[in-house]
Structure 1
């Protein structure tokens, strides 16, 4: 029965548009808890106080779903078919289309609903990046890839341009073998290319130095002047460490219509962004990840990279 249910779940994941699915036994992440504790103690979360919250929930799935037995991890490709024009304010590729939180959350809801209809009473919760779940750790445990030196999950067939989401359930399933190898080898391209030297040794990323942190997470009215020359026109997020990764030569355009790039993201010039009104911003980007930084935050970032 467990094998039948496992095969059915993986088939449904493919039908819903997920590119990969792996399943791991729900258990405490003791090693990851220690690494997270060290990372936090060294202040690498910067002003992201939410990273310090719900520590026990992050490392113990049973605290999120009572009676948790399995963690289903899915990957969804977001590599775009088109990229931005040259000489425009740069936006991370994950933010080209609709907000992935909403897109994937709806798919996880559908998956859980179908599981209840097909298998019976199943209790579970889906998590998409915005909840206290260590997605990359579960992806590794379920055989989907390894953690690269830039802190991203790397998949041998697809690189790293994909979203990771998890569904924790109280259903026992057949578990995949953990991914045990590291295929980064002696490559240090991501470390060398990082504009702000945020990528450290031993697969540690200092979040407080990352361009994504400054342009998305940091709510201060002003960005650090001494870093101005290092931002390289990144207005929202940063893809440098992924763009230089050799494994991303295997990236292929995604097939999810909701991730189709907005024309404005691809083509807005600096002048277009400068002339954009708050009303137009809210209308154009109402379903976009850019709404997280809000109109004033986008304007702040634009002034910083252009002045």
Structure 2
């Protein structure tokens, strides 16, 4: 089954779904293509198709489509393939998949189908009686505020959009008081941002936790304590190379479960808006099989 987001990367790669379907069919696979006008409708169509005994799900798009696939497949044993033609593509980057390369990505899918693919951990979020999954990271704080601003823009495209949104957000952002309960131990943290990550990067290549491993049975809790605007601007460029980790305001620790609480703070998971804190987050080892 092939699920296509026609608005990935603002339509620049609208033909990617047809190209992916052709590539997979040429490899001898039986492909059913699903397209809908909204993500909610597409999610319902995917879930219905999975109940009809599909063997695998391949998504065409960015991290939003990966998020859809992860939430449909985690815990089922069915594999997820990714053709990354979106804006961020952080999960695909974690897996070493070729970005913006439909033919190359489909070749990886076909090869992984033959050998069974790779088993990863997944993060499970519980909030307000709902349960959701993520493969990349949950963000709450400055980075989520940047995401909120960037998602409201139609231009520019790619990583530059997040950089410009960050510069705009700096003008009004203030440190947040969080209550963080990590593996049962609670603390009050003043912080600019907090992320709980299974993958190394967010926001199209910002390597917040460069040593994270998606199959170690742990999540990486990333905290940036209060900084001045100038200090944050000095640290920010280092995030793309992963050289920020030695800064005294940065803390990274490995955990199995985290509860995040703060007033009026929005959280994002894999670039998708989840809603206001509090959130309960836990790792589920081996919950997701990927065709990579």
Where is the strand percentage greater, Structure 1 or Structure 2?
A: 2
| TM-score where L is the length of structure 2 | 0.28
Higher RCO (C-alpha 8 Å, min separation 6): 1
TM-score, with structure 1 as normaliser: 0.27
Q: Which has the higher helix share?
A: 1
Q: Which has the larger radius of gyration?
A: 1
